[in-house]
Structure 1
């Protein structure tokens, strides 16, 4: 079962660190994805597979939101350019979609690997209280 709390916390960590990581383009976003995936996997616990899954979801969510933000910026820029700008941004939209898909895939993959490591370091699956589930 998916621990959505772990996924959302991992996503938020990756998002905040990604924004702060804009000072180091590329490296900052890479580190943000790794740390966010690790956090999601560690919070979810449950070993390698569970950590991988939760890190994958956190990274994919981050990639989708990042792609959406890029699309909004390009749409607004096209809107400001009038009909010609709209046509140019429409054509550019295909390239942006492909780039957002690639970024989403890379973020999901790196977060999944880091999440697997986090899941291995916390083999006991935990519930919302933070206590291992086998205590109940």
Structure 2
């Protein structure tokens, strides 16, 4: 059974460290996924598989929500360009969201591995 509290706390850690990690573009995001996945796995406990699952969920939610927010900001910013600008940035926002979903899968795997480690330590 999924411990949603552990997933949510891991997601919050990923989000907070991801925002701070923007100062170090690649390393900051990787560290955020690792730490958040570890926290989710540690809080869920129960061994490697349980930690893996909770880290995977926390990482996936972190990537998808982050991508959705970036796509939304790009889409809203396009309204300043009128109808044509709105369409162009709307399409760009969709592209950014699709890319962010793909990146979230990578982040989810990374978080899952760290979650497995956290679950094993608990």
In structure 2, the residue matched to 1:131 is: none
Distance 1:45 1:85 in 2: 49
Q: Describe how 1:3-82 pairs up with structure 2 within 5 A.
A: 3-82=3-82
Q: How many residues align?
A: 122
Deviation at 1:89, TM superposition (A): 1.4
Deviation at 1:96, TM superposition (A): 1.4
In structure 2, the residue matched to 1:96 is: 96
Larger radius of gyration, structure 1 or 2?
1
Query: Segments of 4+ in structure 1 off by > 4 A?
Result: none
Distance 2:64 2:94 in 1: 15
Deviation at 1:79, TM superposition (A): 1.1
Unaligned runs of 5+ in 1: 123-136
**2:70–2:93 Cα contact (<8 Å) kept:** no
Deviation at 1:90, TM superposition (A): 2.9
Provide TM-score, normalisation by structure 2: 0.94
Provide TM-score, normalisation by structure 1: 0.85
Unaligned runs of 5+ in 2: none
Q: Partner of 2:25: helix, strand, or coil?
A: coil
**2:74–2:90 Cα contact (<8 Å) kept:** no
Q: Larger % of helix: which?
A: 2
The answer on 1:112 being equivalent to 2:112 is: yes
Deviation at 1:59, TM superposition (A): 0.5
* RMSD, aligned α-carbons: 1.1
**2:51–2:112 Cα contact (<8 Å) kept:** yes
